[in-house]
Amino acid sequence: MKFASGDKIVLIGDSITDCGRSHPYGDGGFHAFGNGYVSVVAALLQSTYPELNLRIVNMGSSGHNVRDLKARWERDVLDLNPDWLSIMIGINDVWRQFDQPSMTETHVLIEEYEAELEQLIARTKPTVKGLILMTPFYIEPNANDAMRNTMDAYGAVVKKLAEKYDALFVDVQEAFNKVLEHVYPASLGWDRVHPGLHGHAVIARAFLKAVDYDFNKGL
């Protein structure tokens, strides 16, 4: 298990992380974590490792891209003094290129995405015990689909930065690929971006696997 007693784990991202979490801080009991993968992660960590007294904070914000993360980084990451930081961003950076093709000001091309994400990682790495970098994803099994192909390229950037900065790497797209061998994409997410609870469980399992969660502990 990567996390230690008393660790504070902040997860930041877009709507996939947000999922109706409490604002300004997705911190505390009841519905603070939202209804997505962060809630699943928190429930499993806190029920399986109660002795660690882990603190989970959801700082996802719907619609955000890497530019938005940069604008709120001081308040939503550094000021919270996390021990661990998880970042999953990139879906909107890619999606706006496809659903708003003429609104080029909303497009975050891959060169900008990599530069901005690396800047945030480099700025934060000295302040935390560890980083967890998660790929963006598209719930589409055809790797030649234009949006899926572009999303894979952004995911490759995340993998490269994880290797460069010695971060834990979570290949969310690959986790979905395995499930998509057996189910139709719309059964996981109606728009192939926003998954239902079973899709969020796919993300949560991939996250937990990366942090060496023991799925058999206490059984």
Residues 6+ apart with CB under 8 A from 13: 59, 60, 61, 64, 86, 87, 88, 89, 134
Q: Model confidence at 211, in pLDDT bands (50, 70, 90)?
A: very high
Q: Given this model, what pLDDT does residue 218 score?
A: 76
Mean per-residue pLDDT over the chain, rounded: 96
Is 156 inside any structural domain? yes
Tell me the residue range of the domain where 93 lies: 8-210
- Write down the H helix ranges in 77-183: 91-99, 110-124, 146-164, 172-180
Is 74 inside any structural domain? yes
194 in catalytic set? yes
Q: Given this model, what pLDDT does residue 201 score?
A: 97
Alpha-carbon span 75 to 117, nearest angstrom: 17
* Six token digits for residue 185: 């994409």
Q: How many domains does the chain have?
A: 1
Q: What is the CATH number of the domain that holds 143?
A: 3.40.50.1110
Confirm whether pTM is higher than 0.85: yes
Over 80: is that where the pLDDT of 219 sits?
no
Is 2 inside any structural domain? no
Task: Express each pLDDT in 163-201 by its tens digit.
Answer: 999 999 999 999 999 999 999 999 999 999 999 999 999
State percent of the chain over pLDDT 90: 97
Is 196 inside any structural domain? yes
Residues 6+ apart with CB under 8 A from 44: 204, 208, 213
Is 106 inside any structural domain? yes
Pairing status of strand 26-27 against strand 55-60? antiparallel
Q: Given this model, what pLDDT does residue 196 score?
A: 95
191 in catalytic set? yes
Is 217 inside any structural domain? no
Task: Express each pLDDT in 84-101 by its tens digit.
Answer: 999 999 999 999 999 999
Phi first, then psi: give them for residue 212, nearest 5 degrees. Answer: 65, 40
Over 80: is that where the pLDDT of 25 sits?
yes
Q: Model confidence at 29, in pLDDT bands (50, 70, 90)?
A: confident
Catalytic residue among 22, 68, 83, 194: 194
Catalytic residue among 31, 47, 99, 191: 191
Task: Express each pLDDT in 178-188 by its tens digit.
Answer: 999 999 999 99
Q: Which amino acid is at 91?
A: I
> What's the mean pLDDT in 21-46?
95
Is 219 inside any structural domain? no
Is 123 inside any structural domain? yes
Catalytic residue among 14, 15, 39, 93: 15
Task: Express each pLDDT in 97-129 by its tens digit.
Answer: 999 999 999 999 999 999 999 999 999 999 999
Q: Given this model, what pLDDT does residue 30 score?
A: 81
Over 90: is that where the pLDDT of 78 sits?
yes
